[in-house]
Structures are given as C-alpha cells and as structure tokens.
C-alpha cells in the first residue's frame, strides 16, 4: 500500500521537520497498528510558517501554484509526478522530502532508482562548494569506477550539515573529476560542473526503511513530549555512517531556535542511530532547484530560462492578461489571475490568484497574491502584497500583508528598545511606526514578547472587503516609501502571526475558484468567437 502524508505547517514549525516526522510515525501506529509494516509512504513537510515566502504561509508550500497547466498545477502534483516510479522499487518504509524543492535528473532507460537497502538511503546531486555551504554534504566512501555514470549506488562515510568550505576539505568531501561528465549542469542550484575543477555531493530527499522508522518511533514514545526542534537532515543524517562523531551535536550555528534541551536530544538521537548505514544514490546528471524564498521564487518563475524550458513554465498561466512580448528575456509571471488590458506588470514580478483593474501598475520584482486591486494603484518595485480571508467572531474579514520582498520577517530582537534594528521596506521600523502614528508598546506585538519581529508586529489593518483591505495596506506601504503620514490608529490591526490564526482557508479557496470559473468562461467564449 502506498500512503501520502502531508505534515501541516504549524506542526513543522513547532517541532521542526524531524520532530514532525516522529509525530507522523506515532499517528501511523495509532491509525494502522502493525498494518503499516508493509506500507510505502511519501512524507512531505508542508513548509513550516514559510516566513521567507509568506504568500505560501496560509496553505503551506506544498500547495504553491506553479506557472503551467490548465487548471494550474501545484507543487504537490509536481512532486507526485517526479516520484511516480519510486514506490514500485521501494521496500516498506518512508520517503521524506520537503515541499519547496524540485529534483530533476536523467538516467538510462533501463535504470531506476531503488530504495531497497536497510537503514537510510539519500539522493545526492553534484554541486559547487558554495552551494554545499547551504545544504547537506555527503562524504562518500572510495569508488572504483574510472568514469562517472548517470546513476551510481554509493556508501556514505559521514554526512555534513551546511558545512563551511574549510570543513568540506577537512573531511574529504570535495571531489575532483575523473573523466568528467559531458552533460551540462548549468541551472538550478547547481552551477555548471564543467567549469568547476572541484565539487561536492549535496542532499535532497531521503528514505528510511521500516525497521529504522520503528526504532525512531520507539525512541519518540519513550521520551514523551518534545521540548525542542529536531531537524530531520541535521539531526538524523549526521548520526549515520561509520565516520559519524558526536561533535556535531554541540554545534548550534545552523539552528533557528536554540533550546536548552537541544544538545541532549541530539546526543540521544546520535547514540540511537549510530552504526546505521547511509546509502547514497548519486545522480550525476541532475539538477536541484530550491523555491523557498521570495528571491528564489521570483528568479525561477520569471528569469530562469533553464527551469522554464525543463518544466515548460509559462509567463501567462491560465490567466486573462495582454500578451507579453516574446523578445523580453526577463518576463513577468501571471498565474490564474484576471488583469485588465490597461494594467501593467513589470518584468521580474509574479501575480497569482489576483484581479488587477485598468489603472494598476506593478513595478519590477513584486509578488502579488490573492489580492483584488480595482482602484488606481502604483506598486513600487520589490513590493510584496498578499491578502488573506479571516474568520473573526464568526464574521468574514480581510487583511493584507504589505511589505518588501526583501524584508526579513524572521529577524527578531528581544526588547522594545531594539526594534530600531528591524527594517520595513528598507526603512527603520521605528520610523515606520512614527509614520503610522503607532506607539511602541508590548501590545504592538503578538505572541512571545521577547521575540519581536515584523512577523508578529500588529501593523496590518482588518477590513470588511478584500479590495478595501488591499487599498488600505497599500496606503500604509506608500506612506513609508513617500515618508508621508498615514494613521493606522482607527483600524483593528493584526500581525501576520495572528492573520494565520484567523485565516479562513475555505473563503480563500472560494475566491480562487471564482477566478478559475471566470477564466474558464472567458476561454469558452473566445473559442466560440474563433470557431
């Protein structure tokens, strides 16, 4: 039996992708008992709170719309298509993957990827040393073949999590060409290795057999409650292979949130998994794309000709919008949206699930999501606008997050006196509060009062209609850009954190369906007129 599990963003955010994986194992045990011993399972982490790509925060990155298909494909459907051949060559166990990456590869027609060995099995992709500093890196056991093949089954000596280049050399993770590939690896997160005399093998997804999964489940049931985040890659994989040592457990440089129990928990996981094998499926003719930040999202959907040609991405995907000149290399991207012919969208911008009226001008490198802009509006370059439906006291409301695509929503300070260190659209946040006539008090922030950030700042107005919500948030954004006063005192204000608590997913999907039906009707009418 093949089973698909999507882990909700809140679960991933609280326990980390490793902790949420353990939670999923316990749920499987409760639902199916011994029956899941024979299951092949695809487990996808839906994306945490997606603070680096907040237009995916409400539904999760796994439901990110992709610019192709009629109707539009989402990341989930692409994942299922990419992994369609895996279950038939997979022993009972769990395949663990993230929601914001795309793995493309080419192997021989008679070859296939097998997940049939005990312990863990991970995919590996050739990457530059620079890319390796932001991924997991495999230190592989020696290999006898003189030439690279598209598909190689290797053993891993140890796994390094986001190592420095110095560490890669220190632990012999750096490879040098044998009779190197003829393929061109340009594109994705993997620069052309034909140009690199040295490279490393980086991670993407991994598989664990059923016996290993049961061992982790027994460990989780023994400890009871998790009090710290666990990383499935950093905390599980670093414990594997004959070269693994306990030193990594004390390195917290790559940890998002450092808790007092973390080091102890890491050490317990290390001793649990020590001696477990890490098998590696090396895909020498492959590319790995990450679409987890606003910067990556904009680049891959508008400017990356490699991914566009490989997946058939479209500049206008299932939308009503005037044609974009084909000569433009840096195009905008319109996904399931209705735009008036007199509106304009500058190159490098993405508009999804939105309506734009005739007097709307969108600048370069913007993201517009789930919005309705029908009044005159000029959106400056690098604007981020995303609207959410809310259910508050049984009433339907709307709020729109508006900021800069490069704003760091995760950056936080511990005291009110330090909020001057935060920036909103490149402007000191303290200055923004003055422009909006908001006082600096603890009530300005939701949630943890010692973790103050743009994420939990109560600055976004609540309105009774979607269009009013967008218009009001754009006014506060324009006020900052023009350094002109716009008081928010008369509005009920929410933080992004609170918007997600009150989100009305059903209404947001209804809005998307309305756009879908209107586009479908428009296409039918156009077909009738041309027939």
Q: With bands split at pLDDT 50, 70 and 90, how would you rate the model's confidence at 242?
A: very high
- Asked if residue 492 lies in contact with residue 460, where contact means CB atoms within 8 angstroms, the answer is no
Task: Classify 483 in phi/psi space as left (phi over 0), alpha (psi -120 to 50) or beta.
Answer: left
- Count of beta carbons in the 10 Å neighbourhood of residue 232: 22
Over residues 351-394, the pLDDT tens digits come to 999 999 999 999 999 999 999 999 999 999 999 999 999 999 99
3-class SS of residue 65? strand
Instruction: Output the pLDDT for position 191.
Output: 43
In angstroms, the CA 193 to CA 199 distance is 7
For the entire predicted model, the pTM comes to 0.92
- Count of beta carbons in the 10 Å neighbourhood of residue 8: 14
Instruction: Output the pLDDT for position 182.
Output: 41
Over residues 95-113, the pLDDT tens digits come to 999 999 999 999 998 999 9
In angstroms, the CA 229 to CA 22 distance is 11
Over residues 477-511, the pLDDT tens digits come to 999 999 999 999 999 999 999 999 999 999 999 99
Domain assignments of the chain as residue spans, ordered by start:
2-176+195-290, 315-517
- Count of beta carbons in the 10 Å neighbourhood of residue 27: 13
Q: Residue 145: exposed, middle, or buried by beta-carbon count in 10 A (0-12, 13-18, 19+)?
A: exposed
**Radius of gyration for the chain, computed over Cα atoms and rounded to the nearest angstrom:** 24
Give CA separation, 392 vs 57, 397, 401, 443, 473, in Å. 19, 7, 17, 19, 19
> How does the average pLDDT of the chain come out, rounded?
91
- Asked if residue 401 lies in contact with residue 424, where contact means CB atoms within 8 angstroms, the answer is no
E-strand spans in 376-505? Answer: 377-379, 383-392, 395-404, 412-413, 423-424, 427-428, 452-453, 460-463, 493-494
Phi, psi of 398 (to 5 degrees): -140, 150
């Amino acid at each position: 039996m093949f089973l698909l599990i999507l882990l909700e963003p809140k679960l991933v955010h609280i326990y980390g992708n490793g902790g949420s994986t353990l939670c999923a194992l316990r749920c499987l045990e409760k639902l199916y008992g011994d029956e899941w011993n024979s299951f092949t399972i695809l487990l996808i982490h839906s994306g945490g709170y997606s603070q680096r790509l907040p237009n995916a925060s409400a539904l999760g990155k796994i439901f990110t719309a992709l610019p192709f298909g009629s109707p539009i494909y989402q990341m989930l459907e692409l994942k299922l298509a990419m992994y369609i051949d895996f279950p038939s060559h997979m022993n009972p166990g769990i395949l663990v993957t993230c929601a914001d990456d795309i793995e493309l590869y080419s192997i021989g027609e008679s070859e296939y990827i097998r997940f049939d060995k005990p312990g863990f099995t991970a995919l590996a992709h050739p990457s530059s040393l620079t890319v390796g500093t932001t991924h997991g890196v495999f230190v592989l056991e020696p290999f006898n073949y003189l030439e690279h093949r598209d598909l190689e089954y290797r053993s891993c000596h140890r796994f390094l999590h986001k190592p420095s280049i110095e560490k890669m050399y220190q632990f012999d993770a750096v490879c040098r060409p044998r009779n190197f590939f003829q393929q061109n690896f340009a594109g994705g997160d993997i620069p052309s290795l034909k140009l690199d005399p040295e490279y490393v093998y980086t991670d993407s997804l991994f598989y664990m057999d059923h016996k290993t999964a049961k061992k982790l489940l027994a460990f989780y049931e023994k400890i009871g409650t998790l009090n710290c985040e666990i990383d499935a890659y950093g905390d599980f994989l670093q414990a594997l292979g004959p070269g693994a040592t306990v030193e990594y457990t004390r390195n917290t440089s790559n940890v998002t949130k450092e808790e007092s129990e973390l080091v102890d928990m890491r050490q317990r996981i290390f001793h649990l998994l020590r001696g477990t094998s890490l098998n590696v499926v090396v895909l020498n003719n492959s590319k790995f794309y990450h679409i987890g930040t606003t910067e990556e999202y904009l680049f891959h959907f508008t400017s990356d000709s490699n991914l566009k040609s490989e997946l058939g991405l479209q500049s206008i995907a299932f939308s009503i919008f005037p044609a974009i000149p084909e000569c433009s290399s840096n195009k905008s991207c319109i996904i399931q949206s209705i735009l008036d012919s007199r509106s304009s969208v500058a190159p490098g911008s993405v508009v999804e699930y939105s309506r734009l009226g005739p007097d709307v001008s969108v600048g370069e490198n913007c993201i517009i999501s789930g919005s309705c802009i029908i009044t005159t509006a000029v959106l400056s370059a690098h604007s981020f606008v995303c609207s959410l439906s809310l259910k508050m006291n049984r009433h339907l409301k709307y709020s729109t997050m508006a900021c800069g695509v490069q704003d760091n929503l995760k950056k936080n300070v511990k005291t009110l006196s330090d909020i001057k260190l935060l920036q909103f659209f490149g402007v000191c946040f303290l200055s923004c509060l003055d422009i909006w006539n908001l006082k600096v008090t603890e009530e300005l922030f939701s949630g943890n009062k010692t973790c103050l950030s743009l994420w939990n700042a109560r600055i976004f107005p609540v309105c009774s209609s979607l269009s009013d919500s967008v218009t009001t948030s754009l006014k506060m954004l324009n006020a900052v850009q023009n350094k002109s006063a716009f008081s928010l005192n008369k509005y009920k204000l929410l933080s992004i954190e609170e918007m997600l608590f009150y989100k009305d997913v059903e209404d947001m999907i209804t809005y998307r369906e309305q756009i879908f039906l209107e586009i479908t009707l428009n296409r039918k009418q156009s077909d009738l007129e041309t027939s």
